[in-house]
């Protein structure tokens, strides 16, 4: 039997998505070992294997078929724009993509001013400002701790994920506009969906039962 390969996004989602697979009877004991440097974990009985990848790489593995299935945030799916099927909302890792900044910056979003927007999600930010709001802005790509940008004067606002709102609150920032709700999704390679349809549907069914 051919392995079904599942790419999991490292980081916040990893433990939750693994727990979900475990509850659904598709776990893999060795992946839970905290200090392992191993990259790929196999469940021989079920013919499935897991690997952990950087979140933004998960859609790439799935588009090219190196993974049949990926578990990754909707933010990454939107940002990467890969060719794949999004088949299921796992309902974990719920948060929002938002425009945030100091309260005073709200006016800048109504007057079609040329402002600077710092973000880890340039594609999502561009699409929101240019297409949905018809506001021309300068997008500045950062790789993390985006909340710093308006504080130190790199940008007027940011486009970022808000989960509990703690990071914003502790830095004197607030949500100015909501862009879209986010959560973890299951994505599937387009060829795998045809070739392994039965096995993938069974896995979806098993996951759905524990959601």
Binding region for ligand PRP (CB under 6 A) = 144-147, 160-167
With respect to ligand PRP, which residue has the nearer C-beta, 45 or 170? 170
CB nearer to ligand PRP: pick between 42 and 56: 56
> Which tokens in the block code for residue 37?
């440097």
The answer to whether 49 touches 40, Cβ cutoff 8 Å, is: yes
Residue 140 CB, shortest distance to ligand PRP, in Å, is 14
- Nearest-approach distance from CB 96 to ligand PRP, in angstroms: 9
| CA distances, 46 to each of 27, 42, 131 (Å) | 9, 9, 45
Q: How far is the CB of 143 from ligand PRP (least distance, A)?
A: 7
- Pick 8 or 26: Cβ nearer ligand PRP: 8
β-partners of residue 86 are 187
The minimum distance between CB 75 and ligand PRP, in angstroms, equals 9
Non-local CB neighbours of 196 within 8 Å, separated by 6+ positions: 2, 4, 68
When the beta carbons of 38 and 169 are compared against ligand PRP, the nearer one is 169
Classify residue 38 by burial, with Cβ atoms within 10 Å: 0-12, 13-18, 19+.
Answer: exposed
- In terms of Cα–Cα distance, which of 126, 130, 163 is closest to 141? 126
Residue 25 Ramachandran class (φ > 0 left, ψ -120 to 50 alpha, else beta)? left
Residue nearest to ligand PRP (CB): 144
Q: How far is the CB of 28 from ligand PRP (least distance, A)?
A: 25
Closer by beta carbon to ligand PRP, 70 or else 93: 93
């Amino acid at each position: 039997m051919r392995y079904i390969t599942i790419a999991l996004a490292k980081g916040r989602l990893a433990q939750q998505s693994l727990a979900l697979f475990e509850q659904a009877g598709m776990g893999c004991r060795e992946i839970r070992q905290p200090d392992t440097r191993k990259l790929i974990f196999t469940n021989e009985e079920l013919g499935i294997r897991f690997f952990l990848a950087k979140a933004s790489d998960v859609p790439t593995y799935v588009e090219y078929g190196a993974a049949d299935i990926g578990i990754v945030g909707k933010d990454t799916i939107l940002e990467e724009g890969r060719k794949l099927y999004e088949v299921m909302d796992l309902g974990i890792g719920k948060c929002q993509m938002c425009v945030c900044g100091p309260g005073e910056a709200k006016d800048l979003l109504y007057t079609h001013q040329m402002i600077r927007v710092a973000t880890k999600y340039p594609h999502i930010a561009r699409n929101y400002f240019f297409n949905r709001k018809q506001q021309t802005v300068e997008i500045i790509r950062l790789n993390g701790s985006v909340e710093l940008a308006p504080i130190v004067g790199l940008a007027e606002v940011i486009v970022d994920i808000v989960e509990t709102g703690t990071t914003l609150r502790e830095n004197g920032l607030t949500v100015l506009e909501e862009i879209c709700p986010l959560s973890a999704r299951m994505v599937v390679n387009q060829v795998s969906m045809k070739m392994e349809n039965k096995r993938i549907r069974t896995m979806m069914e098993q996951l759905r039962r524990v959601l």
